Structure 1
Amino acid sequence: MEDGSSCASGDGPASWQLRRVSWARVLLQQDWGSVLSTAVVLLALGVAEGVLGGPRSRPFMVTDATISYPNGDSTIPYWSVIVASLAALLLSVLLAELWLARGLHADLTDGLAAALHFALDGISAFLVTGLATQVSKMVVGRLRPDFLARCQPPVPDPLAVQYGLPAAANPPCTAPASPELTEGQYSFPSGHTSTAFAFSVWTVGYCIWAFNVRPPRRSAGGVRRLGVWRRLAHEAATAAGFLWVVALLLYAWFVGVSRITDFKHHPSDVAAGALLGTLLGAAFVLRAIGRLPGVLAGAEAGGAAGTPQPDTSLLRGNRVHNHGGDLPSV
């Protein structure tokens, strides 16, 4: 079985040097049809958000205990959810495409094309999830558990409890109009949770495919025939891959739990956010995996003269170098 560095088309290790990368070919080989379809969905959601203009008004009472919790800071800011989750996604893709699966690609150009293909899809999943969450928040207009603390409505004296009143009969807020007050009407579903689960489920689905399904696996007998140190390295890599996907899912779970303990969302908001993120994350990663074999279908025609050309499929299973059997499984 030939060494991984020599499996590149034509000129061996040189084809894995950054200076030999054809950036035009990297862009040409992208699945722009999928990117276009995602753009159409984003445009539709953006138009819906603009038409709605703001949250739906819902009736409430000052005696409603479910919206009377204190208003405080978030344990996990939204920006940190995006940064941490995106970093985990990009790290997973780069590790899998440019190192673990190096022998499956014709050259560094192919590896970068595959990495960009997956990165664009993961970011697309995040954008669609975010806009779908925001539109849902506006349509539902559910009040957060800390809404009364944001609104600070006057308590009538004597207090009279009435039921079935329209939103027009709501007591006025004494707090000045502000983005924080408006945010108090955006409880369903949880945006933190939907974002965390979209990223985590996408990354976990990709890792399971990249670590377990794509590369050729060693047989049980082949693993037993490994030397002691190679066997230990193989088992350690397998354990590391499993711990990585578990950590990603636990992080998303912790984000959702923090939204409840911070009194920013009701439990059903978090459950809905987790479901939305899971469905969209799974849909996007399955699309990306399914479209991968055809990403480079037009590469031979699009390459520059004299540039080594890749095979028509990115999954070159017949030319995998020896470390392929040591890829971590999850």
Structure 2
Amino acid sequence: MPEPSESKSANDQNHHIETIWRIVIDAISLIILLVVSIISNTTAIPFTRGFFCSDATIKYPYKDNTIPAYAAVILSVGVPIIWIWTTELCKLCYFKRYPKTRFEIRLLFWRHKSYQIAPIVRNLYILTVIFGYGYLATWVLLEVTKNFIGELRPHFLAVCQPSIDCTSITLLNQYNSYLQYGTNYTCLNSDTTSVREARRSFFSGHTAPLFFGFGYLIMYIHVSWSWRHLGILGHLFQVGLLILACYVGYTRISDFHHHWHDVFFGAVVGSLIAFVTFKFILNWRRQDPQFLPTITTSTDSCATSSNDPLENMNTYPVHLQEYDGQSTEVGLFHSSNVAVRSRQKILQPISLLKLVFDGLSLAIVLLTWLLLKYLVKPVRRAFLCSDLSLYHAEPQKKVFPTWLLVLCAIGIPLVIILLSECVRWYYLFRQKSAKVAYELQIRSKIYRIPEWVGNLYIIIGVFIFANCVTAFLTNIGKVTVGRLRPHFIPSCFHKYSYHDFCNNSNEWIINYECLGESSDIIKQKDGAYDIRQSFPSGHASIAFCGLIFLALYIHKVWNYRNFGQFPYVMETFCFALAAYIGITRITDNRHHPTDVLAGAILGTFVAIIAFRYMVDAFKRSVLSDLGSESMTD
């Protein structure tokens, strides 16, 4: 590689060189992916799959898109790019994270010519280009999968208009026979583009790119939005992005453009590609060359202790404070590594603004959940009168009523967490172990908060926030999908027999109104609107969120050597109780099995994310390792 024309100064400790060939190769790679995705989307012929007349999953009526394709593209590309660029520019303008004299980047051109560029230009280039690479890779995989599998959409028969009329078939063997395209039927619809798209259901083209874009942005927010005054506000934005992505996926099901597994696999594929792109291709833990420049000054007190360049970008300098005649590093974000039973006292500053943002975030999530719960009415989903899954008997009594769910999934975990923290405080107080005091500054006054109070605030606050988010995501699915409960027809029409209600087995009921359905603004708790809110199960999602969170807490905290296998027994009990609550929703005829499964996955996912990434201060507490044998005098 040719040497730059300018000499390297003594202050260029973070000097880095880029070549013009990198930009050229990146551009060629992106163009190749773009061309392949366009060809696959416009000219490739999908696999012509046949169908059975008895297949009720492709007999849904055609509906227009709630979220058009162009809107999904704008959301999946525009929101992440604007958000990332705005954040980086704010860092440059307001936080001054890019020192000019300590970090230089030079771009080599042809014939040994080089130009110095600002670090923010390279950072924005890397963030944008790698995002574009992952986004186009998602589209290529999406288009290739759609064309090779050729799964029929739920409204395939309505769009295709096959030459054979399934309603005229009377013989059972013909009704269950496989009809091959070109041999047994052809599509009479002259709109070949619509017929082609009706054969490309798996997996969802709205969901996969959107989950990639928002997943990439969520991970960027996690490593970049670590200003200590924000509290859980950054997590609130992450939850908002996840809710918007889930809403778009739900609309694809309610619009009959995709099966539920198309949306599910689209979300999984998009999230997985986003994780691989951000974690391994962007490689934000790489130090040479550094992805983002570290803050370096002439004094040693401003050096950060983390090896992660992104963490260094978002942490403030540590300060030295003396306690008991010893110097202790106190970071504004991360507590220093001090032995568990050291007699040093560590102060962790807390701002009043953080508490305000925490309360504001909880209030926003709670109010939006109440709005969805009691004001927003579910979509009126069409159904096939021969759908036997809707003829179950009306439930008489709940095995697990709502008050018992709240007690087991929220009340008991809160009590156990409170008692555990009290026991830990007593044990450590008796052992004269380290005490972490939080400093809350309100204007010019400083208040000392005990460590156990701070831990309770963190854990209980995150626990309540996680349950509110789970309830919000659950109700988004309920009102958007509008899936009918197993006892829908008996409860809605008071028809308990298939023969009494259904005259034509292929008849779609679209415009209907349940008996006793009111036009009140506030929804009734168990009225006509509730029987159209089956997916996902609210009991299962709340139960798994609360009890899995408790199991993770027990696994983290109850590691005292004298406990033996008791913590594992408690963790198993938490999972068993959550599973039992979900099973009762099926046996009560209140939910389909897929509703309970989706609720369990949702609650578990939120609990793991909340405990793994939001309880950082608790995990880094010097008192978290109860029963450690090490001791520093």
- Scaled by the length of structure 1, the TM-score of the pair is 0.69
CA deviation profile, 1:16-71 (whole Å, cap 9, x unmatched): xxxxxxxxx99858964983795497289559949x92110111134421101111
CA distance in 1, matches of 2:223, 2:210: 20
Q: 2:76 aligns with which of 85, 108, 112?
A: 85
CA distance in 1, matches of 2:255, 2:17: 44
Residue 317 of structure 1 corresponds to: 295
Amino acid corresponding to residue 211 of structure 2 in structure 1 = F
Residue 157 of structure 2 corresponds to: 148
The structure where helix makes up a greater share of residues is: 1
Residue 571 of structure 2 corresponds to: none
Residue 401 of structure 2 corresponds to: none
CA distance in 1, matches of 2:17, 2:195: 46
CA distance in 2, matches of 1:42, 1:313: 24
From the superposition, tell whether residues 31 and 278 of structure 1 become closer, same or farther in structure 2 (CA, over 3 Å). Answer: farther
Q: Shift in Å at residue 161 of structure 1?
A: 1.5
CA distance in 1, matches of 2:204, 2:81: 24
Q: Shift in Å at residue 109 of structure 1?
A: 1.9
Q: Are the aligned partners of 1:48 and 1:135 in contact in 2 as well (CA < 8 Å)?
A: no
From the superposition, tell whether residues 105 and 70 of structure 1 become closer, same or farther in structure 2 (CA, over 3 Å). Answer: same
From the superposition, tell whether residues 62 and 177 of structure 1 become closer, same or farther in structure 2 (CA, over 3 Å). Answer: farther
Q: Give the percent of matched residue pairs that are identical in Structure 1 and Structure 2.
A: 25
The alignment status of 1:181 with 2:195, answered yes or no, reads yes
From the superposition, tell whether residues 175 and 164 of structure 1 become closer, same or farther in structure 2 (CA, over 3 Å). Answer: closer
Larger mean CA deviation between 110-119 and 86-95 belongs to 86-95
What aligned pairs does 1:170-209 form with structure 2 within 5 A after superposition?
Answer: 170-209=184-223
The alignment status of 1:276 with 2:275, answered yes or no, reads no
Amino acid corresponding to residue 42 of structure 1 in structure 2 = L
CA distance in 1, matches of 2:188, 2:195: 11
In structure 2, runs of 5+ residues without a counterpart are 1-8, 10-15, 101-116, 304-312, 317-331, 334-353, 355-612, 615-633
Larger mean CA deviation between 102-111 and 137-146 belongs to 102-111
Residue 136 of structure 1 corresponds to: 145
What aligned pairs does 1:201-280 form with structure 2 within 5 A after superposition?
Answer: 201-212=215-226, 234-235=228-229, 237-280=230-273
Q: Shift in Å at residue 138 of structure 1?
A: 0.2
Q: Are the aligned partners of 1:130 and 1:195 in contact in 2 as well (CA < 8 Å)?
A: yes
CA deviation profile, 1:221-245 (whole Å, cap 9, x unmatched): xxxxxxxxxxxxx54x233311111
Larger mean CA deviation between 260-269 and 97-106 belongs to 97-106
From the superposition, tell whether residues 127 and 170 of structure 1 become closer, same or farther in structure 2 (CA, over 3 Å). Answer: farther
Residue 86 of structure 2 corresponds to: 95
The SS at the match of 1:171 is coil
Q: Are the aligned partners of 2:208 and 2:269 in contact in 1 as well (CA < 8 Å)?
A: yes
Q: 2:65 aligns with which of 57, 74, 79?
A: 74
The SS at the match of 1:73 is coil
CA-based RMSD of the aligned residues comes to 3.8
The structure where strand makes up a greater share of residues is: 2
In structure 1, runs of 5+ residues without a counterpart are 1-8, 10-24, 218-233, 298-311
Q: Shift in Å at residue 197 of structure 1?
A: 0.4
Amino acid corresponding to residue 265 of structure 2 in structure 1 = A
What aligned pairs does 1:26-65 form with structure 2 within 5 A after superposition?
Answer: 32=23, 35=26, 38-39=29-30, 42=33, 49=40, 53-65=44-56
Q: Shift in Å at residue 323 of structure 1?
A: 9.2
Q: Are the aligned partners of 1:62 and 1:148 in contact in 2 as well (CA < 8 Å)?
A: no
Amino acid corresponding to residue 210 of structure 2 in structure 1 = A
CA distance in 2, matches of 1:194, 1:95: 25
The SS at the match of 2:60 is coil
